[in-house]
Amino acid sequence: MGQTIEGLEVHDIRFPTSEQLDGSDAMNPDPDYSAAYLVLRTGDGSEGHGFCFTIGRGNDVVAVAVEALRPHVVGRPAPSCAADLAALHHDLTHDSQLRWLGPEKGVAHMAAGAVVNAAWDLAATRAGLPVWEFLASMSPEELVRLVDFRYLTDALTRDEALALLRAAEPGRAARAALLREHGYPAYTTSPGWLGYSDEKLVRLAKEAVAAGFGQIKLKVGLDMEDDVRRMKLARAAVGPSVRIAVDANQRWDVADAVRWMTALAPYEPYWIEEPTSPDDILGHAAVRAGQPVRVATGEHVANRVVFKQLLQARAVDFVQIDAARVAGVNENVAILLLAAKYGVPVCPHAGGVGLCELVQHLAMFDFVAVSGSWEDRVIEYVDHLHEHFADPAVVVGGRYAAPRAPGFSARMLPGSVATHSYPDGPVWQARRTAPEDDR
């Protein structure tokens, strides 16, 4: 009985980040970084932690969606292998009544992803391995078993996936050793939030380079002249050899994106991220064809079917997986395989609450066992809120250190959970009882 999942706890955790302008961009002026956070507990005291990242209002909706998955989880044997994790992923994403709420997108899908990820945390913790190593310990046959190939077979069959994984198998141990020694390349978004002054932008950009980052990112999209000025300042601050990505957070239509990026192109942006709607595959292809800067997207891409098409349509130069928007590790393994098939580098989205902690495992697994490369690959890093995690992401010299603790680095500190619970934790109580201010 000790191996049965006996408990599922769900917490609505919110951080009042809108009080600073950290995280501000062209579409999200005042985010309160939040997590619908869950804990699975087995009878023998093991725990699995997972979460959806949101930016405030609606975090309760995701929490309720996680609760709706309880019947699939509680009473189930704790998963310990690929077959178990595949079965859980299947049950969560193929509940026909819940599937109607997507299908495979939005709140219901994010909730499934949080539970899947918590199950991976549980299984890897019990196996005594960090998730990236747990994944990399699986055979190609086990790994393809994780994947739901429905809707993918016109782009990637099970046999093709197996061949990709087998081709990468011989170098696994050597690449894992490289990771442990050198870490994985990171870039930082910290200098570039839209709400920051020019002075702060320049100072933080220089600090990023001094800290060893070879790439930074600026938010753009509200005002083209402002963006040209900021891009010019950033380029002057970091010099010609540091990459500067720009991110429009879905602000534009196709023609806007082409016009804007043509204006920014002289300052050599490395990529344009989320130029338009994440649903607009053909729009991304048109943006890519219409201006000289490489195109990246993915943090809001709902599922593997949309990623498949972005690749089929040659719409993106970089695939930006998010650890907590799709249906967890399983669906991200599918997306890594699709990207490998099309030869497109995966550069994960991170930041938010705990996204750096999660996604580092997926990028490292990709390096070890799927693409086998870290050329042109880089994980986003934002230096926010890591202090709330028990096994925080560590970035040194512009590189993510390979996690060594068992699990998915997903566990929040109990004190942080208690303090930031919404609406009754002390952080929020204090804000309700404080006199009105300008917030």
Q: Which is nearer to a second copy, 261 or 302 (CB)?
A: 302
The yes or no reply on residue 68 touching a second copy (CB under 8 A) is yes
Provide the minimum distance between the beta carbon of 96 and a second copy in the complex, in angstroms, as a whole number.
Answer: 5
Provide the minimum distance between the beta carbon of 73 and a second copy in the complex, in angstroms, as a whole number.
Answer: 14
Does the active-site annotation cover 349?
yes
The yes or no reply on residue 342 touching a second copy (CB under 8 A) is no
The yes or no reply on residue 161 touching a second copy (CB under 8 A) is no
Span 109-138, contacts to a second copy by CB under 8 A: 109-110
Q: Which is nearer to a second copy, 122 or 316 (CB)?
A: 316
Candidates 178-186, 233-241, 299-307, 412-420: pick the segment binding a second copy (CB under 8 A). 299-307
Q: Which of 349, 361, 388, 420 is an active site residue? A: 349
The yes or no reply on residue 359 touching a second copy (CB under 8 A) is no
Candidates 173-181, 207-215, 280-288, 343-351: pick the segment binding a second copy (CB under 8 A). 280-288
Candidates 62-70, 162-170, 216-224, 227-235: pick the segment binding a second copy (CB under 8 A). 62-70
Q: Per-residue string for binding with a second copy, 7-46, x by CB under 8 A? A: --------------------xxxxxx--------------
Q: Which of 219, 284, 384, 420 is an active site residue? A: 219
Tell me the three-class secondary structure of the chain, residue by residue. CCCEEEEEEEEEEECCHHHCCCCCCCCCCCCCCEEEEEEEEECCCCEEEEEEEECCCCHHHHHHHHHCCHHHHCCCECCCCHHHHHHHHHHHHCCHHHHCCCCCCHHHHHHHHHHHHHHHHHHHHHHCCEHHHHHHCCCHHHHHHCCCCCCCCCCCCHHHHHHHHHHHCCCHHHHHHHHHHHCEEEEEEEEECCCCCHHHHHHHHHHHHHCCCCEEEEECCCCHHHHHHHHHHHHHHHCCCCEEEEECCCCCCHHHHHHHHHHHHHHCEEEEECCCCCCCHHHHHHHHHHCCCEEEECCCCCCHHHHHHHHHCCCCCEECCCCCCCCHHHHHHHHHHHHHHHCCCECCCCCCCCHHHHHHHHHHHHHHHHCCCCCCCCEEECCCCHHHECCCCCEECCEECCCCCCECCCCECHHHHHHHECCCCHHHHHHHHCCCCCC
The yes or no reply on residue 291 touching a second copy (CB under 8 A) is no
Provide the minimum distance between the beta carbon of 151 and a second copy in the complex, in angstroms, as a whole number.
Answer: 4
Provide the minimum distance between the beta carbon of 370 and a second copy in the complex, in angstroms, as a whole number.
Answer: 22
The yes or no reply on residue 429 touching a second copy (CB under 8 A) is no
* Contact positions vs a second copy (CB under 8 A): 27-32, 54-58, 60-62, 64-65, 68, 95-110, 150-154, 250, 253-255, 276-283, 286, 300, 302-303, 305-306, 308-309, 312-313
* Residues annotated as part of the active site: 219, 349
